[in-house]
Amino acid sequence: MAPTPQRPGLADRFRSADARLSSLPGNLRGTLWMLVAGLFFTVMVTLIKVLGERLHVAEIILIRQIVMASIVAPTIIYGLPGSLSTRHPALHVLRILCASTAMLAGFTAVIHLPLADATAIAFSKTFFITIFAIFFLGETVGRHRWTATAIGFVGVMIILRPGADTGIDLYAGLAVLSAACAGVVMIVIRKLSQHERPVTILTYQAVFVGLIMLPIALYNWKTPTLWELGLLVIVGMVSWAGQMCNIRAFRAGEASALAALDYVRLLYATVIGFLVFGDLPALATYAGAALIIAGSLYTVLREAQLGKRVATRDGVRADPP
C-alpha cells in the first residue's frame, strides 16, 4: 500500500511563498512590501483611535513600546553592553524627545481627527525634513526643493483651513507638530546612522521612549479590559510588522520607485475611516493632500534624478542591473 503523501506544513508554505516572492523583480517585491506596510500602519492608527476613546494616549504608547521591545528583545540583549555604547548621546536624547513628542501629538491627533485628515497632514514630514536638513546636515537646498516645500505648505494650510475667528484646530495643529518632530527624528537617524550601529539606535528608541511615557501613563492610568489589552498587543505587533515591511521594501526596490506608494495609506485611511467610524474627509482634505503628495513626489524624484546624474558623471552605472 502506497504511503499517504504528507501535506506541507506551515513553515514549508512560508518558505515556498518566500521563494516565489524572491523570484520577482526588485521593484515589484518592494511595491508589494510597501502596500502591506501601509495597511499595517493604517490598522495601527485605527486601533489607536478606537482605544483612545477610553485610554490615555501615553498608556497606549507605553504598552505599544513594551510589546515592540519584547519582540526585538533578543536583538537588544544579544548586543549588550555594546548596544548601549555611543559617542553621540546628545543626538540620542534629541531623537528620543522628538520621537516621544511626535507619538504623543500624532496619536492624540489621530484619536480626535478623521483618520484621513490626520494621515494627510502626517505626509508633510517630507517638507520638514527638507528644512531641517539645512540646519542639521548643512545641505544646500535649491529653488526646486523650496518650490516643492512651498507647494506642500499650501496643501497643509488648505487641510487646516484656519479661520479668522477659530484659528487652527488644536488637534490639526498637533498633527503638524507631530510631522515636524518626525522630520527631526529622520534627520537625526540619518546623522546617527553614519556613526552608530543599527542595534544601538534601536535599543535607545525601544527603551527610553517607554521610560518617558511611564510616568504620564501611570498618572492617567485606566486598567485595560481584556478586549482592550488584546487590541494593545495587536497595536505593538502591527507597528513592528509595518516597520519590518518598510525595511524589506527598501531593501528590494529603489526608493524613487517606491516613494509614491507610501501615499496609498490615504486611500486605506479613507476606506477604513468610513467603514469603522463613518468619517468621510472634506474635499479640502483631498485638495490639500494632492498638493502635499505632488510636492513630496517632486522632491523625491528630482533627488533620484540628481543622484543618477552624479553616478553617471563619476563613472558609476546609473541604472540598476
pLDDT in tens, 190-244: 788 777 877 788 788 888 999 999 999 999 999 999 999 999 999 999 999 988 8
Is 13 part of a structural domain of the chain? no
Question: Can you read off the three cell numbers belonging to residue 21?
Answer: 516572492
Is 198 part of a structural domain of the chain? yes
d(CA 72, CA 95): 19
Quote the domain boundaries for residue 111: 28-310
d(CA 39, CA 46): 10
pLDDT confidence of residue 321: 34
Question: Can you read off the three cell numbers belonging to residue 114?
Answer: 478623521
Question: Can you read off the three cell numbers belonging to residue 15?
Answer: 518558505
Is 15 part of a structural domain of the chain? no
pLDDT confidence of residue 14: 52
pLDDT confidence of residue 246: 82
pLDDT confidence of residue 146: 76
Is 210 part of a structural domain of the chain? yes
Q: How does pLDDT run along the chain (321 residues), one tens digit per residue?
A: 555 555 665 555 555 655 666 666 667 788 888 889 889 999 999 999 999 999 999 999 999 999 998 988 887 788 777 777 888 888 889 999 999 999 999 999 999 988 988 888 888 887 787 778 777 767 666 777 778 778 877 887 887 776 544 556 888 889 999 999 998 888 888 788 777 877 788 788 888 999 999 999 999 999 999 999 999 999 999 999 988 888 788 777 766 566 667 778 888 888 898 899 888 777 888 888 888 878 777 766 666 565 545 444 444 333 333
Is 113 part of a structural domain of the chain? yes
Q: Per the structure, how many domains does the chain have?
A: 1
Listed in sequence order, the residues at least 6 apart from 74 whose beta carbon sits closer than 8 Å to its beta carbon are: none
pTM metric for this prediction: 0.80
pLDDT confidence of residue 233: 96
Is 209 part of a structural domain of the chain? yes
pLDDT confidence of residue 3: 57
Is 4 part of a structural domain of the chain? no
Is 6 part of a structural domain of the chain? no
